[in-house]
Structures are given as C-alpha cells and as structure tokens.
Structure 1
C-alpha cells in the first residue's frame, strides 16, 4: 500500500510543521510528529469504521505493558485529514529504524544476535503476561532503538485483534505479507502464544542469515508447497550461537506444543 497523505496535510491536521513520513502498513500509515516538546509516532488507521472511542477503551490493556522492548502506546483519538476523521493511535517515537532495514544492510554479530533474541522474548513475555498476543511479528514491526540490534522494540501491538481484522491472519492465495505467521494462523485457526514464538524463530533466522527460513529471495511457491516446507526445519548455520540455534529450532516446530513458552525460552537462552 502506498502513502496516502502529504506532509502538508498531516502538518495541518496536527497543528505542527515538524512531521515526517515513517511508512505504510496493513492498517494505515505512520508519521513522526513533534509538537510542544513531544516526539510521537502517529498511526493513522485507514479503515473508516475504526472507532476512536472503542480503540481508546481497548488500548487500556496495552498501556499496562511496561517493557523497554515493547513500544509505549499512549492514546487513541480522531484526527481530521482532508476533511475526514481517521482513528489514530499515538505511540512513543523510537529512532533508529526497523529490523527489516537493518537486515538489508548487514548481519548482527553473534553477541548482538543473542541480545536480539533476548529482547524479543522479553517484549513478548511482557505482552503475554498481560494476556495479549501480537499475531503479526515480523522484521518491519520491530524497531531497533538507536539502530542497535541489541535493543529491539516490538511495534504494532496486535493491531489485527485491536481492530477486529481477521483477514491478515488468513493465508492469501499466494504468498504475501504474512510470511512470519505460524502454520496454525495461516490455516485460519486462532493465534496463540506459541504462534508468536514461531515468528520469533523466523525473524531471528532472517536476521542472522539475511534470508527467510523457508523461501528464497523472490520465490513464490504454491500454497501447498509452502505448507510442506513448514514441516521441515531449515538448516541453521554453524556460525549462530548455540543457544540461538536451539531457540530457532524449537520455535520453528510445526507441532505447536514443541515450541514451549516464552518463559522457558528465556531460561534456555540464559543457559538455565
């Protein structure tokens, strides 16, 4: 999806000239807004039926999550852009870019890969402890605070559920955006905590290799072929730290129960 609004339109809507476009995702586009000493990321939801009032009620559980590895969600409100009211979510702004951009530029060191794994698990643990799931964890939804692999921050806090959107958790006719979703999600079953762990495994594999664990660059297999691939774990390079290799292998288990829990994954990563 392409950018819909101009900087001039957003500046007029928020009453500040200090705005910059950050990107467009499945639900809308995100802008950095600086005003009155505040530095925030505004996610403007494209869906016309998204209710700002309902979102304000729903985000209370997300606001209880306090973790350096989870973006802080501050508020939900209507924003008038080009004469139309759009439900908008305000997050803390995190400078440094996202993991997808970093992966395109190079690989983390072994120590950074361990820290990346630890940070992602810590963030997911905070969400899961609040009885929240992410459902769409992927490199583009992970910021790197200060551009450092060692300081990942989980973005887009389960917006599929927050906005009652089920379509992105169902597999399309061709391989598309949901490349990091667990098999059960792609089949249309409900997501669970172990589904987020699958995504952690896929993300860490790509961070360490620059490649998706089941697809070559530009490859577009049939749905049936892709599902068959998911049943066989990818080979993990020997250069990976052993604790990360073990984590990836367990997370990418086709059988849900074999993935374990975030708590157990953190303990294993620490060698406990």
Structure 2
C-alpha cells in the first residue's frame, strides 16, 4: 500500500506514513489533514465485512478516555492488487503500545503497574457496560498515551463480539492471540466478559515478572499448555502481596470464579493500597 492509495481514498494529506508492523489483517497509517493527526487502519487480508462493521460499531459505542475513539470508515482501493479494502479512521495516540514501551523504556515499577492495571480495568469495564467483549487483549492492543503507564488506551476491537447481538462466530472456534486467551477460548467456547479479565491478569503477571507467566518461547500451544494454565500465575516475591492475591482471583482457571472487570478494579484497589 502506498501514500497515493491512502490519499486517493481520504484526500490530500500533509503527512501520511505507515506506523508499526503490519498485523495479520492489515496495516496502520498515521495521516495529518488540516493539522489533525489520525490513524487509518486498513484491512488488507482476511477481510470479513460483517465483522469489520461490528468492529466499527463496537468502537463507536464507547466514549471513554481508556478506549480509542473512532471517527469514520470507508473503502480504499490499492494499486498493487486493484482490490477494495475497508478502513477505519480513529484518533492517533502518540506513545506506542505496551510492548514497544517495554523495549524502549523498560518495565513498569510497582506504582506504574498498579496505576496501569486500574486504568485498563476501567476501560474494560466501560466496554462491558456497552455489552462489548474485546476477546484479544494483549500488550500490543494497549497503547500508552505519551508513553505514560498511567494513561493506557485500549485499541483494536477487531475480534470483539457485541454480546447483545447475534454472534457472527460459529463455535467451536478459537480466535485471539493464544498466549493471552482464556481457557474457555482455547477450548473453543464462547468468550465472555471474564475472558477479558483473564487476559488482563496474564498481562499483569507478565509485567510483574518480566516474562510471560506460561509461555516459554513456543510458537504454538505446547501439549501441556492447559496444565500450565491450571497451575496458576506466579510472580516474584518482591512484588506486593496484594498483587499476588489479586492474580489468584482475576486469573482463576474457571471463568465463573473470576470477578467482573469493575469488581476486579475494586478488589485491586483494596488489596493493593
């Protein structure tokens, strides 16, 4: 995809450049028009028109500083294949995602980690209030505004399922990023709000221990993966005891034992003062 392709669909831009690495579904561009920076996400592979419409609908239903704002959508024709590809326009947030910030600035300390988790749980609770389940929470789908751990913003609701609408997903189906998927997702069952809480717990354990709590470099789930999940998440003893207590609840193997996102936030506040 070229700048000419982008400007053909969106009009002249003062700036237009690809940002980040191409994902499994497409690529993202940072554009500037009339002095305003926006992100243009173009779906170039595996496009599912109905799922894309649901992504846009899901994102437009949310009004929260913890969830990226979407401005509009359309279709972009690329010169290389002559095909039409859907795109969406959203606010461009400087700072990079969690993974990028770890690489450039290092891991969060206790204070940063606590503030980060409380803010992410606030955003996920807002999603759930709008009957939206994200289903693919991971470090790459959480931006840090201005590289500030206290200002995370949730992005990429491409796998979200609006729980008050008929699902386009046919089960059994496992979709998401497997190292962060809840046990029920990996078993092909329907994701629900507590599946997002599991993903946050995995991210919390990873940030606390500076390594994934279950994965040891495998590219695919190993044969003993489910046993690892059942064993629970361990973090260094140097981390606050309240965080370890919270992880036992938020990272419970049976989904029904996990708290809602709102209750998880309240528990974290009380257990880790």
Count the aligned residue pairs. Answer: 262
Q: Give me the TM-score of the superposition, normalised by structure 2.
A: 0.85
Contact 1:79 1:87 in 2 (8 A): yes
Q: Shift in Å at residue 59 of structure 1?
A: 3.1
User: Quick one: structure 1 residues 149 and 191, their matched pair in 2 at CA, closer, same or farther if it must change by over 3 Å?
Assistant: same
Describe the SS at the equivalent of 1:59: helix
> Which residue of 2 is the match for residue 45 of structure 1?
43
What's the Cα RMSD here? 2.7
> Paired residue for 1:132?
132
Asked if structure 1 preserves the Cα contact closer than 8 Å seen for 2:9 and 2:75, the reply is: no
Other-structure match for 2:89 = 90
Gaps of 5+ in 2: none
Between the aligned partners of 1:243 and 1:126, the Cα distance in structure 2 is 24
1:264 aligns with 2:260: no
Alignment-derived partner of residue 235 in structure 2: 236
Q: CA deviation at 1:44?
A: 0.5
Q: How does 1:105-124 map to 2 (within 5 A)?
A: 105=104, 106-124=106-124
CA deviations on 1:115-140 (whole Å, 9 max, x unpaired) are 11001100000000000000000000
2: distance between equivalents of 1:9 and 1:110? 45
Secondary structure in structure 1 of the residue aligned to 2:87: strand
**Which residue of structure 1 lines up, in the alignment, with residue 64 of structure 2?**
67
- Do 2:55 and 2:160's aligned partners in 1 also have CA atoms closer than 8 Å? no
Give the 3 Å change call, closer, same or farther, for CA 32–8 of structure 1 in structure 2: same
* 1:103 and 1:210 in contact (8 A); partners too: no
Matching residue of 1:29: 27
Q: Aligned partners of 1:244, 1:128: CA distance in 2, in Å?
A: 23
d(CA) in 1 for partners of 2:221 and 2:30?
Answer: 38
The alpha-carbon deviation at position 57 of structure 1 amounts to: 7.2
C-alpha change, 1:165 and 1:26, in structure 2 (3 Å) is: farther
Displacement of 1:253 after TM fit? Answer: 1.1
Cα pair 1:107 1:209 within 8 Å, conserved: no
TM-score by length of 1: 0.86
CA distance, structure 2, for counterparts of residue 45 and residue 18 of structure 1: 20
Q: Which of the numbers 3, 10, 24 marks the counterpart of 2:6?
A: 10
